[in-house]
Structure 1
């Protein structure tokens, strides 16, 4: 298994000889509803669109996960698996093979990869977007991805999971609290899933933010703090902190099943 982090929530997963592009924001700026005064994210460098993408996986329909300028540069014939909300976005762009997954539904891609949707991020008062459990069928290697730190207890049914990608650092708004949940939420999912490796998402190393919203967001925690938290709770999970653009090979041990 190889992972490349492109900053923020954008990942390339290489698993089962398949290249899966997750929640890509690789070019241009990020705004919500074109309201630059409210929020604007700018990358310090544009990332080239990765070649030979086999599948696009979208967890949400919001611009920071279904980023229109990036999606417009991708081949419309690349298959897409998406939350129902994100599926509407890519269908509107003319993508020809779109699979919408509701919570609890599964999809098998090329008889090599199984993807199952679980409840994920709460967007607005009622909309719950997707998190994903991904399994390579030949080896049994597994990965779980949730970009806001909202983890459903239903995940316990797929434990253990080899790799978890989730926030480790909290993003906090006044009166609202943590709208991106790291820290204790990441600890809880680590206790449920017993991953060999965890990687942080939803943070940024090559992005600057402007606008009203960015001025009132504060961040709590660090990778080092989380490593200490795992150690305190006797969890041997390795926490990786890759640089954007680095292709990382994960050294995973085969699980020994006990009866």
Structure 2
């Protein structure tokens, strides 16, 4: 097992870009503002002074849960399967969380493929250490072989400062089989609860330009969303695809 050094601060904290500012919410407000400006006037007979409208813009509200289309894939975005993938068993009506967009190529995990089997029942030893996670459900993450997990701790300070896991969006992190031993150690130290984890068998991956080509061909809709859309209670939910599409329809992005 890889040694776990869980100090009170990470030596690379100053070099790592912070997500605490929640820039995605800021962007969502800009999208909402754009939509307000593009919205047709409900009463054509009324006269609107553009100078006054600019000086006194209406308040921006985005709600507790939101999702909107973006045009380029980014870390922490969602890939929503379109009707062009209907009939493709693995990807039909899937919601994929993009974990990385590095030089090797994008990678992510399917969020809405439920499993009725635990790690112990699938006899998957890669994502278990001394039985710590043996009773946790194991979800299907994609066709490529590997083990990954998501963790969303109620108190994220310890997880963030440990530097052991990669932050995908505010409050949501992912780890690999290389870091699962450290995750088990943090559970034993009561730093994270077992319920804060979701484990995945397999993942999705693309070559550098492959994903962009699939998006241009209309196989995927790319979306940004609020962190609570991806609450761990939503992982494995077959209704997640419908929920995200419903949130996007409330505010179409032009």
So what's the TM-score if we normalise by structure 2?
0.23
* Structure (1 or 2) with the larger CA radius of gyration: 2
| Structure with the higher fraction of residues in strand conformation | 1
TM-score normalised by the chain length of structure 1: 0.23
* Larger relative contact order (Cα-Cα within 8 Å, sequence gap ≥ 6): 2
